[in-house]
Structure 1
Amino acid sequence: MTDRDTGPGGHGPSGASVRRWRRHLANERAEAAVYRDLAGRRTGEEREILLALAEAETRHEQHWLSLLGDNEGKPRRGDLRTRLIGFLARRFGSVFVLALAQRRESLSPYESDADATNAMAADEQIHEEVVRGLAKRGRNRLSGTFRAAVFGANDGLVSNLSLVVGMSASGVSQRVVLLAGLAGLLAGALSMGAGEYISVQSQRELLEASAPDPKTRDVLQHLNVDANELALVYRAGGMTADEASERAKDVLKSLTPGPHADDGRGDADEHEAIGTGLGAALSSFCFFASGAVMPVIPFALGLEGTVAIITAAVIVGFALLATGATVGLLTGGRPLVSAVRQLAIGFGAATVTYLLGLIFGTAGV
Structure 2
Amino acid sequence: MSRPSPSDLRRWRRHLADERAEAAVYRELAGHRTGEERAILLALADAEGRHAAHWEQLLGEHVGPPRRGDVRFRILAWLAGRFGSVFVLALAQRAEVRATYEVDHDATPTMAADERVHAEVVRALAARGRQQLSGTFRAAVFGANDGLVSNLALVIGVAAAGTGTSTILLTGLAGLLAGALSMGAGEYISVRSQRELLSASTPSPAATAALPNLDVSANELSLVYRARGMSADEAESHAREVLADLDSLDADWRHGRRSTEVTGRTVADDHEVVGSDLGAAVSSFCFFASGAVVPVLPYLFGLTGLTAIGVAVVAVAAALLLTGAVVGLISGGPPLRRALRQLAVGAVAAAVTYGLGTLFGASGI
**Matching residue of 1:68:** 59
Instruction: Quote the Cα distance in structure 1 between the aligned partners of 2:94 and 2:231.
Output: 41
Instruction: Quote the Cα distance in structure 1 between the aligned partners of 2:357 and 2:340.
Output: 25
Q: CA deviation at 1:34?
A: 0.6
Greater alpha carbon shift after TM alignment, 208-217 vs 284-293: 208-217
Q: CA deviation at 1:289?
A: 0.6
Query: Which SS does the other structure have where 2:66 is aligned?
Result: coil
Instruction: Quote the Cα distance in structure 2 between the aligned partners of 1:118 and 1:195.
Output: 52
Q: CA deviation at 1:261?
A: 5.1
Instruction: Quote the Cα distance in structure 2 between the aligned partners of 1:127 and 1:267.
Output: 30
**Matching residue of 1:354:** 354
Residue 138 (structure 1) aligned to one of 106, 129, 141: 129
Query: Which SS does the other structure have where 1:76 is aligned?
Result: coil
Q: What amino acid does structure 1 have at the position aligned with 2:249?
A: P
Q: What amino acid does structure 2 have at the position aligned with 1:73?
A: G
Residue 46 (structure 2) aligned to one of 30, 33, 55: 55
Kindly report the root-mean-square deviation, in angstroms, between the aligned alpha carbons of the 2 structures.
Answer: 1.5
Q: What amino acid does structure 2 have at the position aligned with 1:187?
A: A
Aligned: 1:117 with 2:117? no
Matches within 5 A, 1:266-285: 266-285=266-285
The 3 A distance-change label for structure 1 pair 295 and 74 is same
Q: CA deviation at 1:265?
A: 5.6
Query: Which SS does the other structure have where 1:176 is aligned?
Result: helix
1:257-294 Cα distance to aligned partner (Å, 9 max, x none): 26955758622111101101111111111110111011
**Matching residue of 2:342:** 342
Instruction: Quote the Cα distance in structure 1 between the aligned partners of 2:316 and 2:260.
Output: 48
**Matching residue of 1:290:** 290
Residue 257 (structure 1) aligned to one of 249, 257, 263: 249
1:79-103 Cα distance to aligned partner (Å, 9 max, x none): 0111111110000000000000000
Matches within 5 A, 1:9-24: 11-24=2-15
**Matching residue of 1:309:** 309
Greater alpha carbon shift after TM alignment, 86-95 vs 204-213: 204-213
Q: CA deviation at 1:335?
A: 1.1
Greater alpha carbon shift after TM alignment, 243-252 vs 18-27: 243-252
Instruction: Quote the Cα distance in structure 2 between the aligned partners of 1:253 and 1:362.
Output: 79
Instruction: Quote the Cα distance in structure 2 between the aligned partners of 1:101 and 1:297.
Output: 36
Instruction: Quote the Cα distance in structure 2 between the aligned partners of 1:191 and 1:254.
Output: 49
Matches within 5 A, 1:147-296: 147-255=138-246, 256-257=248-249, 263=261, 266-296=266-296
1:112-142 Cα distance to aligned partner (Å, 9 max, x none): 1111111111111111111000000000000
Instruction: Quote the Cα distance in structure 1 between the aligned partners of 2:260 and 2:186.
Output: 34
**Matching residue of 1:8:** none
Asked whether the equivalents of residues 202 and 260 of structure 2 are also in contact (C-alpha less than 8 Å), the reply is no
1:171-209 Cα distance to aligned partner (Å, 9 max, x none): 110011001101111111111111111111111111111
> TM-score scaled by structure 1?
0.94
Q: What amino acid does structure 2 have at the position aligned with 1:34?
A: V
Instruction: Quote the Cα distance in structure 2 between the aligned partners of 1:172 and 1:240.
Output: 67
Give unmatched runs, 5+ long, in structure 1.
6-10
Query: Which SS does the other structure have where 1:257 is aligned?
Result: helix
Asked whether the equivalents of residues 259 and 267 of structure 2 are also in contact (C-alpha less than 8 Å), the reply is no
1:192-247 Cα distance to aligned partner (Å, 9 max, x none): 11111111111111111111112222222111111111111221222221221122
**Matching residue of 1:91:** 82
Instruction: Quote the Cα distance in structure 2 between the aligned partners of 1:127 and 1:251.
Output: 36
Residue 97 (structure 2) aligned to one of 99, 106, 112: 106
Greater alpha carbon shift after TM alignment, 287-296 vs 216-225: 216-225
Instruction: Quote the Cα distance in structure 1 between the aligned partners of 2:37 and 2:230.
Output: 33
Q: CA deviation at 1:254?
A: 3.0
Greater alpha carbon shift after TM alignment, 17-26 vs 313-322: 313-322
Asked whether the equivalents of residues 295 and 312 of structure 2 are also in contact (C-alpha less than 8 Å), the reply is yes
Instruction: Quote the Cα distance in structure 2 between the aligned partners of 1:345 and 1:254.
Output: 54
Identity of aligned residues (%): 64
1:133-156 Cα distance to aligned partner (Å, 9 max, x none): 000000000011011001101100
Instruction: Quote the Cα distance in structure 1 between the aligned partners of 2:172 and 2:259.
Output: 53
Instruction: Quote the Cα distance in structure 1 between the aligned partners of 2:259 and 2:135.
Output: 25
**Matching residue of 2:363:** 363
Instruction: Quote the Cα distance in structure 1 between the aligned partners of 2:259 and 2:283.
Output: 34
Dislocated runs of 4+, deviation >6 Å: none
Q: CA deviation at 1:250?
A: 2.3
Instruction: Quote the Cα distance in structure 2 between the aligned partners of 1:336 and 1:78.
Output: 23
Q: What amino acid does structure 1 have at the position aligned with 2:57?
A: S
- Count of aligned pairs: 356
1:22-76 Cα distance to aligned partner (Å, 9 max, x none): 1111110011111111111111111111111111111111111111111101101
